[in-house]
Structure 1
Amino acid sequence: MSVSELLPESVPNEIDRSVQTVGLTTDETVFETLSTDTARQIVSLLDDGPQTASAIATEMQISVQNVCYHLDRLQTAGLIDAVGTRHSSKGKEMTVYGLITESIVLQLGEQNTAQ
């Protein structure tokens, strides 16, 4: 029995994801973050379900440091968040990341709140 089987895991089965509206000129962080292939591939992987940075790195065959850089940017942009924890086979606690946005809606003009 591995150490990870003995330690508790805190990962939700489903995450309540919302629709995010971003303005073309007001939300540059989202567009800048998603401008790289790596960030878009990470979002695609997380669309299948929450994962750790090391699992993403293994799947994409890139370094964990590179994945962590993009995860940090995606988190700052409000597209992902830490949704739980998992333990490695060596017992190290790892953060599990998941998408918090179901889809992104691009708003071209000023938002009109009066309807």
Structure 2
Amino acid sequence: MARLFPTQTDAAVERSDNPAVLSLDDAATRDVIEALSSETAYDIFRLLNETPATPSRIADQLDQSVQNVHYHLENLESAGVIEVADTCYSEKGREMSVFVVSEDPTLLFLGTEDDRPSLKRAFKSFASLLGPPSILLAAGESVSQLVTTE
């Protein structure tokens, strides 16, 4: 008998080309840093950056309890770095959320709101040399390295 509910998702990790820029004096910056400060949360974020996943799949992949994964997913979702993209169902028919990284990438700027005009000028100069796609790649790698080193 064919399954009535989907057990797989067709959600994809899609990123826009409009990054959110967070600076040190932005209240959301602390939320993002706190949400990613745990090694487990960071591992979850990296996994979701590669592929959409349900909490149970994340727990299996990272050898964590589903309860622990749910805790970190709630923190990451509250910080705005991940979101629910789809719903699928377990073999037992239970509804499961499918999480992905947020559509808008986030750039963490280690300066204040007053420094943003100089940041924009620097990015415009950089973009004219390398092109916008390379900036998003560089910014994403820089944020990844920043969070890893702390």
SS of residue paired to 1:106: strand
> Could you state the TM-score of these two structures normalised by the residue count of structure 1?
0.83
**For residue 135 of structure 2, what is the aligned residue in structure 1?**
none
Contact conserved, 1:22 with 1:105, CA < 8 A, in 2?
yes
- Do the aligned partners of 2:84 and 2:100 also contact (CA within 8 Å) in 1? yes
Q: What SS does structure 1 have at the residue aligned with 2:98?
A: strand
Q: For residues 58-102 of structure 1, give each alpha carbon's deviation from its aligned partner in whole angstroms, at most 9, with x where no partner exists.
A: 111111111001000000000001100011011111011100156
TM-score by length of 2: 0.65
User: Which residue identity does 2:30 align to in structure 1?
Assistant: E
Do structure 1's residue 109 and structure 2's residue 112 form an aligned pair? yes
Which protein has the bigger strand share?
A: 1
Contact 1:20 1:104 in 2 (8 A): yes
What percentage of residue pairs aligned between the two structures are identical? 37
| Pair member with larger Rg | 2
Greater length-normalized contact order (CA 8 Å, ≥ 6 residues apart): 1
Whether the aligned pair in 1 keeps the contact of 2:12 and 2:100 (CA below 8 Å) is: no
Counterpart in the other structure of 2:50 = 48
Once structures 1 and 2 are overlaid, which stretch shifts more, 81-90 or 103-112? Answer: 103-112
Q: Secondary structure at the match of 1:16?
A: coil
Long gaps (5+) in structure 2: 122-150
Equivalence for 1:22: 22
RMSD of Structure 2 on Structure 1 (CA): 2.5
Aligned-partner Cα distance in 2 for 1:104–1:94: 26
Q: Secondary structure at the match of 2:20?
A: strand
SS in 1 for 2:74: helix
